[in-house]
A and B are shown apart, each in its own frame.
Chain A
Amino acid sequence: MKKRGKAMSLVLHPTGNKGAGDPSQAAIALRPDGTFTLIIGTADLGQGSNTILRQFAADALDVPIENISVNNQAGNVAPICTGSFASRVTLIDPHAVVNAADDLKDKVVNWAAGMWEVAPEAVTWADNSVFVEGDEEKTMTMTEVGEGVVGSAELMIGTGAWYPAPFTEHDPETGAMESVGAISFGCAVVEVEVDTETGLIDVLSVIQVWELGKAVNPLTCKQQINGGLSVGLGFALAESCHPYYPDAAHAVEHLTDYYVPTFADYPAEISHGIEEVPHPAGVKGAKGFSEGSSTVPISAIISAVHDATGVWITEVPLTPEVVLKALEA
């Protein structure tokens, strides 16, 4: 018999390392033609770090985004990024990028002030140019700035870093530890159909909402929310490297016996929602969230299976074998 059930879930996902100590750095170089290279040490795994850090850089410099190239493959001259893990990049790296932009702007403004023999405070950096307000003689496009900098034997590279806090240990007595990152929140509503004869679970629909501070790039947010389902559906329903855990026998060796969700396993109905509560620790309120999109469907699926069958199955994944055993018990 096929039984349907529906349930919701609420989970959190923290941004940044437990105990901090995870800095990032960035550099922005002004090119001789007035365009820019953003240099970071952040690996782009597909999550889109190059894409969003370029967005932050363009806004911080107030220049067209086409004028910024990103180099994150700089090998032994790369600035430090402790890594693309712990959903930390969106929270931490933008600070380094903004600081690098501010540093570059300072340097260029000081240089322009020297050229014009005015106080640096009189020079404005805006709209892809520098100028002295109200003085039409004293204005340079960024292209002119780039050329001028080369001509005056200068190299303009802004550098920036962000160190959220030094690493701290737990208090040994209570385990107390400040959380220096930010926390994002995910809520899912899931409908499943359980075949009580075969034990197969079909996830019919998933609604997933993330409160993520600021959707820096709604397209990459959508990819990450919908995409996290792969690891989440697999964890909930199919993936186990040792199916008879703790027994080590029957270890998986191929993608045919380790079943990763395919197109056909994705629910027919998927929708995502974004909620923004700006976080004080992030640039423009942004915080990381997207690893959590793998977390939030799992418990909703388990609860929906209970709604369908009246049985709590708390051994994950809910493979047909596990489901049938639980239903028979």
Chain B
Amino acid sequence: MTEYVGKPMPRYQGLGEVTGTATYVDDVQYPGMLYVKVLRSPVARGTVKGLDFSDTLKVPGVVGVLTADDIPGVNIYGVYGDQLVLNPQDLRYKGEPIAAVVGRDEDAAQAGVEAVKLDVEELTPVFDMFEAMKPDAPIVRPGTTSNLFEYDEQGTTTRIIKLGDVEAGLKEADHIVEGRYIEAIQDHAAMEPQVSVALIDDAGRLTIHTHSQCLNYHLAQLCPVFGLSQSKINYLGGRVGGGYGGKNEINCDHIAGLAALKFCAPVKYRLTRQEDLAYTGKRGAWVFDYKTGVMNDGRIVASHIKEYHDSGAYCGFSPYGTEKCGMFASGPYNIPNILIEANTIFTNRYPSISMRGYSVLNGQVAADVQMSRIAEKLGMDPWELRFINAWRDGDMGASRYVVDGVGALEAMKRAAGMAGIELPDKLLQMSSRSR
């Protein structure tokens, strides 16, 4: 029997990468290719009062414009189906795409964008999650009455995950440790900026060269926009110049595809680094309030966590991320009483999306610093506190999932060994197989 699994092997398609011959989306060129630039919202919140392309169409090299009216299917995409490909009306964040200009080169397209006479009535935006939750806050999503995501038809805005009785656990605890954790917005900063190339192929199909991380999900989102069945789209991908979650979001494929359909030509739409950094989805901000009850012997008996996630102006991935974060926010520990209260809040920012370690990372950072603070409070070694509480096979997590194949203790033992830290025998004798 062959045994390749377990052996170090270099990257399968790596020779193309080291010789510069690997083809990334921006490396794809077609004769007569047109280029797209997008007119973006200059304000964080506002209403479009006028949109006049008469000067744009006079710019040399401009081939035409693309507006919401040009969309053959629906002007909707996103995991939660709440984003507009091109937003003709109620602008929710700075940089939101309003319309696109297609030109023979990028300079012409950009000059065309700058020639658009855009009249926007600016409205007061809200950027602070806690301000956004107040009753008199500006409303991010027109047509709604609150900036909190509703998790069900009953209008539940705080997603609860509970195990045991957290109040009783906190009452029983010898010590209470509290902490607030504020975590910033992070960009993926993949070295390959967002880009797409689209064209009509010889069979009349729409071919798209994509760097999507999730071809199947994105194809399902794109078909309704183009009004085309899956058999009419050749969605070519597989090679990505760095994703880290940033290419789970569609930024270019929809607009490039629409332009190819309208102008029946190969089209490239790529973001500059500036556009990519300033206007695309990010790992959103999180604020956590932790309250942990612990006994003198180090056993954690209660964990009450309040979670606030800044979703930006659309859902992005946020309602999902807030829940997933919550499921794991009490850390890899056996805690009998847990209450997670999670809120997803809209603000006038680009939507928050997945990023490496998505959502779980944010909760783990808070949970783990909290553990070190508990150890300090108890005067206990931070290793010992984690050894005592770490999951063993058969333990239960916050949303009542049973864990198996656990290896927290084993990871700690190896790390301590590598660091030259001598752990006491009573810790070394512990195993994830039993308590």
Binding site for B on A (CB under 8 A): 7-14, 18, 41-46, 48, 50-52, 54-56, 58-59, 62-65, 70, 72-76, 78, 80-86, 126, 170, 172-179, 182-189, 207-211, 213-220, 222, 228, 231, 234-235, 239-243, 245-248, 251-255, 258, 260, 271, 273, 275-281, 284-287, 291-292, 294-296, 298-300, 302-303, 306, 312, 314-317
Contacts and interface: CB of A to CB of B under 8 A. Distances in A.
A10 B375 CA distance: 13
Contact of B185 (A58, A177, A240, A314): A240
Interface stretch (B65-73, B108-116, B159-167, B257-265): B159-167
Nearest to B326: A175
24 contacts: A8-B386, A10-B371, A11-B332, A12-B332, A14-B327, A46-B241, A59-B4, A63-B2, A213-B405, A215-B6, A218-B6, A219-B8, A242-B184, A246-B127, A246-B285, A246-B347, A247-B127, A248-B127, A253-B277, A255-B273, A275-B411, A284-B6, A286-B5, A314-B182
Contact of A258 (B187, B411, B418): B187
B181 interface: yes
A166 to B, nearest CB: 16
Contacts of B405: 182-183, 213, 277-281, 285, 287
Interface in B139-184: 152, 156, 159-163, 179-184
A275 B382 CA distance: 21
A130 to B, nearest CB: 15
Contacts of B324: 14, 18
B323 A277 contact: no
Contacts of B383: 8
Contact of B415 (A46, A177, A189, A213): A189
Interface of B: 1-13, 44, 94, 125, 127-129, 131, 152, 156, 159-163, 179-187, 189, 205, 207, 211-217, 230-231, 233-245, 247-248, 273-274, 277-278, 282, 285, 310, 320, 323-324, 326-328, 331-332, 340, 347-349, 354-358, 360-361, 364-369, 371-373, 376, 382-383, 386, 390, 397-401, 403-408, 410-412, 414-416, 418-419, 421, 432
B44 A217 contact: no
Given A43-B215, A291-B358, A295-B360, A174 B400 contact: yes
Identify the 8 closest CB pairs spanning chains A and B, nearest first.
A83-B214, A211-B407, A175-B161, A179-B401, A279-B405, A299-B368, A219-B8, A73-B238
Nearest to B162: A174
B240 A46 contact: yes
A44 B373 contact: no
Nearest to B218: A83
Nearest to B219: A76
A239 B214 contact: no
A324 B154 CA distance: 46
A7 B382 contact: yes
B8 A177 contact: no
Given A50-B12, A183-B406, A189 B373 contact: no
B180 A43 contact: no
Given A51-B11, A284-B5, A295-B365, A303 B408 contact: no
Given A51-B12, A58-B4, A214-B6, A252 B217 contact: no
A294 B361 contact: yes
Nearest to B44: A248
A295 B24 CA distance: 28
Nearest to A217: B9
Contacts of A246: 127-129, 131, 285, 310, 347
B11 A48 contact: yes
Contacts of A258: 187, 189, 277
A12 B331 contact: yes
Contacts of B347: 246
Contacts of B372: 7, 9, 299, 303, 306
Contact of B418 (A207, A287, A295): A207
B407 A185 contact: yes
